[in-house]
Structure 1
Amino acid sequence: MRVAIVNDLLMAVEVLRRVLAAVGDYEIAWIAYNGAEAVEKCAADLPDLVLMDLIMPVMDGVQATCTIMRETPCAILVVTASVRGNAAKVFEAMGCGALDAVATPVLGPEGKIEGGAELLKKIKTISRLIGKPVANEKPGSPRVLPRSAPQLVAIGSSTGGPRALAEILSRLPEDFRASIVIVQHVDVQFAGGLAEWLNEQTHLTVTVASGGQTLREGMVYVAGTNDHLVIGSDLALHYTPEPRDYPYRPSVDTFFFSVEKHWPGKSVAVLLTGMGRDGAKGLLGLKRAGWHTIAQDEQTSIVYGMPRAAAEMGAAVEILPLDRIAESIARHMRSEEVAYLGG
């Protein structure tokens, strides 16, 4: 795989070069020392993956990511030393199309590189996302809704997801009563920051999902570890490492399958912008089980991969632009509540 490095610090560039060279499977396509140079080089020689720093002169990593994804789209991994201190910038870059983010490896005592393994793990995952779809487990079957279970909105998203999620949550009504569970492809170190950032975009309460947690009306739960978030037979949230060979962590399909198997109602499931096919089979299973399923349309998706897969297999009842998804969710929730109350 041909990898490009974008970083204004010579030491960081050298460390990244050493980490890639130690594996032997990656070819360095080119090196750029600011975002503007990266945009130019992507236009002239498109790599398979760009390792994009955030804080740089001339043009920062957020603007460079947005420009590249608009003009010459390719896989981008944000690699920056200031991931926690610049969470908002990380989410901006991911909103424009960056796949994930990781801390820049550093040269430790006695010349030992620290953080290289985590970077290589991210690169390996992205290479699998680019190269092939993933086999999925067989979904289960639905049951009858008990009065104690709230309505559920299940949402899956990846590339461009943070911005899309903020758009949807900001448009839901203040008295929205269903529970919302979000599975966004994001590393565990950014999950808390994502929940905090989304909490600022909506009047609903957004929190990181905890194992054993029971869903409450009007709450938004965001998957918070590199394990998969699932609904258990006790109707509570749980984390599981299985399946271990998924390149998508946490997996939307794994969550959707668990919802179909255990959640005792027929509510709404949404699949948003993202690379690959994660969530499409799970969405199809929920549609067949009687759920109202929505996929984001091509025009408003940063990367039309996951929703495209859902559309191609007929998994979506509706294919909608981003600015109409919240309205559809709210309308369906109201109609379900009226039907439930016998109205």
Structure 2
Amino acid sequence: MLKIAIVNDSPMALEVLRRLVSQTPHYQVSWTAQDGAEAVARCAADLPDLILMDVVMPIMDGVEATRRIMASTPCAILMVTASVNRYAAEVFTAMGYGALDAINTPAIGLQFASEGGKGLLKKISAIATLIGKAPRRSLLRDTPRPALVSRRSRSPLIAIGSSTGGPQALAKILSALPATLDASIVVVQHVDEQFAPGLAHWLNDQTPLTVDIAQEGQAPSPGHVSIAGTNDHLCLSPSGKFTYCAEPQTTYRPSVDALFASLAQHWPQPDIAVILTGMGQDGAQGLKLLRDAGWRTIAQDRKTSVVYGMPRAAFELGAVESVLPLEAIAPACLDHLSKIPY
């Protein structure tokens, strides 16, 4: 049984969420709260498996409540907001404190099986799988490796995967890179496609580089940061251009493993891959493929990670060449780029 708490100051929204949870087998509403301060107190007394946390509330908003809960009684938190565009910055701040994901509040009404309701239940199901540590199918078992080339055929590439705490970590790294960077950057951050444009816009304000959503058929471009922008997997095609793939079916979409595996197969030279803070194991198998293909592989360390799940899984698999604190990752990338022969 998955115990779920609901925190929302709107009685109508709270009732919609309560009914959605209650009508689903194996889900149970543990308690409800109408502001963040009440939620912090309730967590101390009765910790749920998952909290559906509103963003804007009186007394204490969902961002501050997330910070306090993750500091004292950590559990899975899904941010539920009435407006993706209006509250994108708040959502990314909450994710920096440890919220796993975010989604729009389902439309208020009697049709609880609406698209919004289905989307929320899908998110809850994914998180339930993640925190339950269910066995996951290998995505990469038969992925062929490319032959290494002796000279570079393209500008360097930095591939980054992140999840819980990722937006703030990405901002830290990207802000430390120069506008003249002669390398392409591609990012898979676990975030719903509704929030991807807002994430790109927010990161644009944090870095001198250009940040945008990776477009189907677009090639990686030096000085540009391309972010996965749909709930399908961002991959590199045999032609060296971005493509979105529905398969494989995975808990988290988009998948870091899917991107890394496609780079191992289709990118013509070894470059740099980074795995950042996040819950679960996504990215570990893909990073191992890249390391075996000669890539420089870096994982964020335990101390600076909001959740040391994805980096730890990669390290334990032998996929990581260097474990570094967050502030050392950008300098390490620049140092490696400076030594690449052309």
TM-score, normalised relative to structure 1: 0.95
Residue 243 (structure 1) aligned with residue 245 (structure 2) = no
Residue 308 (structure 1) aligned with residue 312 (structure 2) = yes
Aligned to 2:137: 135
Question: For residues 220 and 107 of structure 2, what CA distance do their matches in structure 1 show?
Answer: 41
Give the partner amino acid of 2:30: A
Aligned to 2:51: 50
Residue 317 (structure 1) aligned with residue 321 (structure 2) = yes
Paired residues of 1:150 and 1:215 also in contact (CA < 8 A): no
In structure 2, the CA distance between the partners of 1:194 and 1:298, relative to structure 1 (3 Å rule), is same
Aligned to 2:126: 125
Segments of structure 1 that go 5 or more residues without pairing to the other structure are none
Residue 80 (structure 1) aligned with residue 77 (structure 2) = no
Deviations 1:146-201 (A, max 9, x none): 65422110100000000000000001123211000000011111111101111110
Aligned to 1:12: 13
RMSD: 1.2
- For the residue of structure 2 that corresponds to 1:106, the secondary structure is coil
Aligned residues: 335
Question: For residues 241 and 108 of structure 2, what CA distance do their matches in structure 1 show?
Answer: 43
Tell me how far 1:112 sits from its aligned partner.
Answer: 2.4
Question: For residues 292 and 11 of structure 1, what CA distance do their matches in structure 2 show?
Answer: 51
Residue 294 (structure 1) aligned with residue 298 (structure 2) = yes
Question: For residues 144 and 87 of structure 2, what CA distance do their matches in structure 1 show?
Answer: 41
Aligned to 1:167: 172
Deviations 1:106-126 (A, max 9, x none): 323xx3234211110110011
Greater CA drift, 139-148 or 288-297: 139-148
- For the residue of structure 2 that corresponds to 1:274, the secondary structure is coil
Aligned to 1:96: 97
Give the partner amino acid of 1:135: R
Give the partner amino acid of 1:243: P
Aligned to 1:213: 218
Paired residues of 2:153 and 2:268 also in contact (CA < 8 A): no
Paired residues of 1:133 and 1:276 also in contact (CA < 8 A): no
Q: Which residue of 142, 150, 155 maps to 1:150?
A: 155
TM-score, normalised relative to structure 2: 0.95
Question: For residues 314 and 19 of structure 2, what CA distance do their matches in structure 1 show?
Answer: 40
From the two aligned structures, give the one with the greater helix fraction: 1
Question: For residues 188 and 24 of structure 1, what CA distance do their matches in structure 2 show?
Answer: 27
Tell me how far 1:72 sits from its aligned partner.
Answer: 1.1
Paired residues of 1:156 and 1:279 also in contact (CA < 8 A): yes
